Chains A and B, each alone.
Chain A
């Protein structure tokens, strides 16, 4: 099993552009999450999903959208990118308490 896979790994985006970070998992996790990580700020929850068709906001959802049409996929959409969205994004999946992270996506907005 590959676990949780994210693409792209690196991306430079211009202010106002939109993009989608892809996340897929092959562990049959019901729960999936998107976190962002900024230096010294830890991992902040953006959105999460408890199953296909169900999504909910986390701590820092503004400027992002998600969908969960299948158990495997949980894409994160950035609309009208802003410099404040420069960060490292981690998708994660879990079936209970323990969650497993993807390798991360480094996004720079210029």
Chain B
């Protein structure tokens, strides 16, 4: 089955800095890669996703890049703000629609 590795487990940045979270996957058949943000005590919520026919996708301050050859994808957050502090999960799924998730990255943005 699919295996998703996510790094780092904790990321601490100053407000205004950029943050990058990286994930690798094992199954070359995976073609959909979502990113979820989970605030403390809340449910995970989708913030951005990318499909395998696209190399990069942006939505305001967040962007995701995908390297299919290397089987890795990354989340980039620019101009971080304290409200970006949360746990971020990457996921990977293929045609089965059964996503596998990484272990999560705790992002801390210091004011």
Is B93's beta carbon under 8 Å from chain A?
Answer: yes
* CB of A4, distance to nearest CB on chain B (Å): 9
Q: Is B45 an interface residue (CB 8 A)?
A: yes
- Between B1, B36, B97, B104, the greatest number of chain A beta carbons within 10 A of the residue's beta carbon is seen for B97
Do B97 and A42 have beta carbons less than 8 Å apart?
no
Residue of A nearest to B32 (CB): A97
Contact B49 A42 (CB under 8 A): no
Given A43-B44, A90-B44, decide whether A97 and B93 contact each other with a Cβ distance below 8 A.
yes
Say whether A104 faces chain B, with CB atoms less than 8 Å apart: yes
- Please tell me which one of the listed residues B34, B43, B93 contacts residue A103 in the complex, with CB atoms under 8 A apart: B43
- Report the Cα distance A104→B89, complex, angstroms: 16
Question: Of residues 43 to 100 in B, which have CB atoms within 8 Å of A's CB atoms?
Answer: 43-46, 49, 51, 89, 93, 97-100
B49 touches which one: A59, A98, A101, A103 (CB < 8 A)? A98
A50-B89 Cα distance, complex, nearest whole Å: 23
Give the contact-size bracket for chain A.
20 to 34
Which chain B residues lie closer than 8 Å to A12 at the CB level? none
Q: What's the nearest-Cβ distance from chain B to residue A95, in Å?
A: 9
Q: Are B93 and A42 in contact (CB under 8 A)?
A: no
Partner of A97, one of B34, B45, B101: B34
CA of A97 to CA of B89 in the docked complex: distance in angstroms? 15
In the assembled complex, the CB of B100 is this many whole angstroms from the nearest CB of chain A, namely 8
Q: A61 an interface residue at 8 Å Cβ cutoff?
A: no
Nearest-CB distance from A44 to chain B (Å)?
A: 8
A85 to B66, CA, bound (A): 35
- Closest 6 A/B residue pairs (Cβ): A42-B103, A97-B32, A101-B43, A43-B101, A42-B101, A101-B44
